[in-house]
A and B are shown apart, each in its own frame.
Chain A
Amino acid sequence: DQQVKQNSPSLSVQEGRISILNCDYTNSMFDYFLWYKKYPAEGPTFLISISSIKDKNEDGRFTVFLNKSAKHLSLHIVPSQPGDSAVYFCAASTTFSSGSARQLTFGSGTQLTVLP
């Protein structure tokens, strides 16, 4: 049972326009959410995060929105650039039962292609 879902395997946008990547989750225990970007032959790179006590977090061209009632989050990239072309993973986290750290549960990713 997938607890974190990214229903769009791919997305293409024109350079300069807005990219919107979506993510849905089912586990109400998730209280911290992250977006990672992955280029081929590299590991995922942390992009931006949001705590469940917030509904928006912004960092430069990247903004993450959280709708807890809908169990939905989205990543907005504006303006989109060709260098943003990558696979984007949504991740949701809870604290391990040991209380020692956080466990990340990832979605299956969305391939973003920004066309020049």
Chain B
Amino acid sequence: DTGVSQDPRHKITKRGQNVTFRCDPISEHNRLYWYRQTLGQGPEFLTYFQNEAQLEKSRLLSDRFSAERPKGSFSTLEIQRTEQGDSAMYLCASSPQDEQFFGPGTRLTVL
């Protein structure tokens, strides 16, 4: 399968814990995006990488969130000191141009 993959698919954590998600984009795509989706809503943009450079960040991305793409291939999204409001589906997408291809997402539940 050469699509976008995300790991883990599900994560349950206790409030205050740190969590890290991984995204492996389609190999030839240099653009990578992170989104958050809550129930009944569409995906909301969090941040964008072109190769290893983080070029855009949404105001939704609080200081507790950090994302990296160290070698311009896979990316990680870390949430520190999780809160119950962080419970959501976290989606990764990659693109060669304008069309973005999404992974299956990581569902985070913060207890």
Contact = CB atoms under 8 A, between A and B. Distances in A.
Contacts of A104: 33, 43, 45, 100
B43 A44 contact: yes
B4 A101 contact: no
A61 interface: no
A45 B103 CA distance: 9
Contact of A49 (B33, B41, B56, B99): B99
A96 B100 contact: no
Nearest to A9: B40
Interface residues of A, number: 28
B-side interface mostly: strand
**Most-contacted residue by chain B among A91, A104, A107 (CB, 10 A):** A104
Interface in A86-100: 89, 91, 93, 96-98, 100
A49 B42 contact: no
Given A43-B104, A46-B101, A98 B45 contact: no
A104 to B, nearest CB: 6
Pairs A-B, 6 closest by C-beta atoms: A106-B42, A43-B102, A44-B102, A43-B104, A46-B99, A89-B42
Interface of B: 4, 31, 33, 40-45, 48, 50, 55-56, 91, 93, 95, 98-105
8 contacts: A32-B98, A43-B103, A49-B99, A100-B31, A100-B48, A101-B48, A106-B43, A109-B40
